[in-house]
Amino acid sequence: MNGRGVKADLAQATSLLRDACTRSDPRGCVELGQLFQSGRGVLRDVPRTAALFGEACDKGSLDGCSRLASMLETGDMIGRDLPKARELFKRGCDGGVVQDCYSLAKQYQRPETRDVALASKYNKQACDAGVGPACYEVGLLYESGTTVPRDPVKALSFYQQACAAKHELACEKAKRLKR
C-alpha cells in the first residue's frame, strides 16, 4: 500500500485488502476501511468505511470497534448513535484500548449522558495507563471537590502526570497548585 521497497500500487493493495477482509481477516477490513475513509486510491465512501469497520469489529478487531465508535460519536455522515458508540468504546476499554477508556469517559461527561461516577472511573483507568488528558480530568475533580472530596495534593499529582504526558493546561495548573 505504501510501496516500501517497491512502487506503491493502491489498486493492487485495495484488491489484496478486499480479499483479506472477505477471508475473515479483520485487519484487512480495517485497512480497507481506512482507504475508503481517506479516498486514497479509491473514491471516498463514508458509509462503506463504517460498514468495513463494523465488519472488522464483528470479526473481533478492537481497532475496528474503536474506529466505528468514533464515527458514531461524531455522526460522520452515517448518523450519530451515542449509545452504540458507548457500547463499542466500552468493548475497546475492556479489551485494553486505553484511548477508548478516555473516549468512554468523555461520553459520560456529556450533558445528555452525564454520569460523574462512570466518567471518573474511566478517566482514572485511562490515566493509570498514561493518557494525559484523562489525568487532567481527574485532577480537575480533586481540585474542585464537587464530586469527590477536595484534595489539592491529589489534584497536583494528577496534573503532574498529565503534564508529563505533555498536557499544557495541566502543567499550568500544577505550577499554580505548587505555590
Domains of the chain: 1-95 (1.25.40.10), 97-179 (1.25.40.10)
Confidence at residue 9, expressed as pLDDT on a 0 to 100 scale: 67
Alpha-carbon distance of 93 to 117, in angstroms, equals 16
pLDDT band at 2 (very low <50, low <70, confident <90, very high): very low
Instruction: Enumerate long-range contacts of 123-126, CB under 8 Å, 24 or more apart.
Output: 125/93, 125/98, 125/101, 126/98, 126/99, 126/101, 126/102
pLDDT cut 70: percent of the chain above it: 95
pLDDT cut 90: percent of the chain above it: 68
Check whether 1 has a pLDDT greater than 60: no
Check whether 3 has a pLDDT greater than 80: no
- The larger pLDDT score, comparing residue 6 to residue 156, is at 156
57-90 pLDDT per residue, tens: 999 999 999 999 999 999 877 889 999 999 999 9
Unique residue bearing C-alpha cell 499544557: 168
Mean pLDDT calculated for residue range 106-113? 90
Question: What's the mean per-residue pLDDT of the chain?
Answer: 90
